Amino acid sequence: MSQQEFWNSKFSRDGFLYGLKPNTFLASKIKLLKRESKLLCLGEGEGRNAIFFAKRGFKVTALDASDIGLAKLEQRAKEENLDIKTLCLDLNHWESDKKYDVIVASYLHMYKDERVKLFEKIEESLNQDAYFIGEFFSTKQLNFNSGGPKDEDLLYTVDDFKKNFLYCDKEISEQEVILDEGRGHQGDACVIRVVMQKL
């Protein structure tokens, strides 16, 4: 099953799987960022983070494999009179041909052997002093039932981030949190939170 088929099956249901509110961690870091910055949301799904940042003056591009998820985002953006660019493609096919001031992601489901290339593309796509901010499910999430893949190969460790992003100043932490993100993420969870700044 392709990424598009997988996520379309999830996003084709009524409503918004992960709710309308942005990821709490991403939203909490807005004070680091300059308004009107060019911001890219990776694996953005139905658009909760993209809508949040666009409402606050960022120039937002949202990328996801699911055309159904992005259609929901586009409809919300139209209703709220927001200008958000969308790109429908698998992250493995994304090319780092543009530069951004901020890249954000919440819960990218990428296999371990695909990650190094993705992380390199993220780093290449950051302007100097730009930020990459993300929240990811830890391998310890297998002990919880609040959402996320049940395949360890799709989950992350602190070392995944320490070994990559060689040209960035890094803050990386693993912690237990309580998720309240629509039907898809509810309850106790173990996540890895990262804030990277390109040097």
Q: Tell me the pLDDT tens digit for each residue of 165-183.
A: 999 999 999 999 999 998 8
Query: Residue 2: pLDDT band by 50, 70, 90 thresholds?
Result: confident
Residue 95: CB atoms within 10 Å: 9
Q: What is the pLDDT of residues 14-56, one digit of tens each?
A: 888 787 899 999 999 999 999 899 999 999 999 999 999 999 9
For residue 77, the domain's CATH number is 3.40.50.150
Give the count of domains, the chain: 1
Residue 23 gets which letter from DSSP? P
The pLDDT score that the predictor gives to residue 61 is 97
Q: What is the mean pLDDT of the chain?
A: 94
* C-alpha dist (Å) from residue 157 to 18, 54, 140, 143, 171: 23, 30, 9, 14, 14
Residue 8: pLDDT over 70: no
User: 31: burial class by Cβ within 10 Å (0-12, 13-18, 19+)?
Assistant: exposed
Q: Return the structure tokens found at 170.
A: 């890094």
Q: Which domain holds residue 13?
A: 3-198
Question: What distance in Å separates the CA atoms of residue 88 and residue 90, rounded to the nearest whole number?
Answer: 7
Q: Please name which of 9, 16, 8, 39 lies closest in space to residue 134, comparing C-alpha atoms.
A: 39
Q: Please name which of 140, 193, 142 lies closest in space to residue 170, comparing C-alpha atoms.
A: 193
Residue 95 gets which letter from DSSP? -
Question: What distance in Å separates the CA atoms of residue 147 and residue 187, rounded to the nearest whole number?
Answer: 8
Q: Return the structure tokens found at 97.
A: 């041909």
Question: What distance in Å separates the CA atoms of residue 93 and residue 165, rounded to the nearest whole number?
Answer: 20
Angle between helix 48-55 and helix 67-79 axes, rounded to 10 deg: 30
Question: What distance in Å separates the CA atoms of residue 106 and residue 127, rounded to the nearest whole number?
Answer: 20
Q: What is the pLDDT of residues 50-87, one digit of tens each?
A: 999 999 999 999 999 999 999 999 999 999 999 999 99
Question: What distance in Å separates the CA atoms of residue 97 and residue 68, rounded to the nearest whole number?
Answer: 25
Residue appearing with tokens 């990776």: 42
Phi, psi at 161, each rounded to 5°: -90, -35
5 vs 144, higher pLDDT: 144
pTM for the predicted model, two decimal places: 0.94
Question: What distance in Å separates the CA atoms of residue 152 and residue 24, rounded to the nearest whole number?
Answer: 24
Q: What is the pLDDT of residues 106-136, one digit of tens each?
A: 999 999 999 999 999 999 999 999 999 999 9
